[in-house]
Amino acid sequence: MILLKGVSKSYGDVLALNQITLQVMRGEIYGLIGPNGAGKTTTIKLLVGLLRPSSGQVFVNGFDVQKDGLAAKRELGYIPDEPFLYGRLTPLELMDFKGSLHDMVRNDLERRKEELLQLVGLLDHRHDLIESFSLGMRQRLAISVALLPDPSIIVVDEPLVGLDPVGMRRVKEILVELARKGRTIFISTHMLHVVEEIADRVGVLNKGTLVAEGALAALRRAQDERLESIFFRLFSEEIK
């Protein structure tokens, strides 16, 4: 379970997030959408402990990310929007390193490595240096690294950046499958159709404020209204 309680974040004089409160339940896929600069990546970085909130609290499965960071991080798997990875390591070495940070048992680690590299289609590249990978390959590797310790919560920032159509479909299937197994998924993206396809609930962020939140059905005015229309309706004033 994810819980953000009155979270604000300022960068100097700029207020990036303003009193955000939201909750994501176990097994749920939550999509966070919003225009550029709305505060999506800031929210995600606060959630995974890469940033500290200026005020408010972030809880992951009941653990306060600031006060009990290690326990919280044990529950989390994070896939960033820009998959910066150690370029001079191979995927296997990177996964060994990640596994050691999670104190994974050797047998488990070996099994998971093969399994996940197979899952994201990188098994043939397991001995190649990451520096020679394309953006899509790095993104797939970042996904496998995040899933390595089998986290109960997966936080994804722009999950489909750099992926080809086959890769996109595969990642969506993986996320849905994980949610079905009881994992909590928190996605931030510009791609409204992805959220529409897989998210159970949606949060709409604008200028650091959560302007709308709820199940997709609740946000719709008409039964067949698309998320894109909802998005433009919510931001119509701004677009004008």
Partner 1 sequence: MSHLLQYFGFRFKMVRHGLAARRTQIAKGAILPFFFLCVGVFMFVFLFKAFCFFQSFDLVGEILIGKLLALIFFIFFIFLVLSNINGVIKWFLTNEDLPFLLTNPVSTSTIFFARSIEAFLESSWAFLFFSIPVLLAYYTALFKFKLAFLLSILLLLPYALIPYGIGFTVVMVLARFLSPKVIKRAFSFLFVLLSAVLVITFRAMEIEKLARPESFAYVYDYMRYLSIPAHPLLPTHLFIAVVVFLGKGGPSNIIIDLGLFLSSAAALVTLAYWISEGFYLRSYTNALVSSRTVKSDLMGRLLRFIPAGTRFLVLKEVKNLKRDPKEWSQVLLIFALIFVYVYNFKSFPRDRTALPTVFLESLLSFLNMGLLTFVIGAVSVRFVYPSFQLEGKPFWLVLTSPVDLRDIYYRKLAFYVALSLAFALTLNSLSNHFIASPPFLYCLSFGYVILVAVICPVIAFYFGTKYMNLREPPNPYGGLGGILTMLAIICFSLLTLVALGWSSYAILVRNLTGLRLSTAVLVEFGVTCGIVLGASLAGIHVMRLKTIRQLRKIEL
For partner 1, the binding residues (CB under 8 A) are 45, 48-52, 69-71, 73-74, 76, 78, 80, 82, 84-90, 93-94, 96-103, 106, 127-129, 131-132, 145
Question: Side chain identity at 153, as an amino acid letter?
Answer: I
How near is the Cβ of 84 to partner 1 at its closest, in Å? Answer: 4
Give whichever of 90 and 206 is closer to partner 1, judged by the CB atom: 90
How near is the Cβ of 29 to partner 1 at its closest, in Å? Answer: 20
Give whichever of 48 and 143 is closer to partner 1, judged by the CB atom: 48
Give whichever of 124 and 224 is closer to partner 1, judged by the CB atom: 124
Longest CA–CA separation in the chain, Å: 58
How near is the Cβ of 90 to partner 1 at its closest, in Å? Answer: 5
Query: How many other CB atoms are found less than 10 A from the CB of residue 220?
Result: 15
Give whichever of 178 and 204 is closer to partner 1, judged by the CB atom: 178
Cβ–Cβ < 8 Å for 25, 1: yes
Give whichever of 99 and 167 is closer to partner 1, judged by the CB atom: 99
User: What SS3 class is residue 215?
Assistant: strand
Q: What are phi and psi of 186, to 5 degrees?
A: -120, 115
Give whichever of 6 and 87 is closer to partner 1, judged by the CB atom: 87
How near is the Cβ of 195 to partner 1 at its closest, in Å? Answer: 23
How near is the Cβ of 95 to partner 1 at its closest, in Å? Answer: 10
- Classify residue 140 by its DSSP letter: H
How near is the Cβ of 148 to partner 1 at its closest, in Å? Answer: 10
| Angle value at C-alpha 47, between 41 and 53, nearest 5 degrees | 85
Q: How far apart are CA 7 and CA 18, in angstroms?
A: 7
Q: How far apart are CA 180 and CA 182, in angstroms?
A: 5
User: What is the number of residues in the chain?
Assistant: 240
Q: How far apart are CA 17 and CA 11, in angstroms?
A: 10
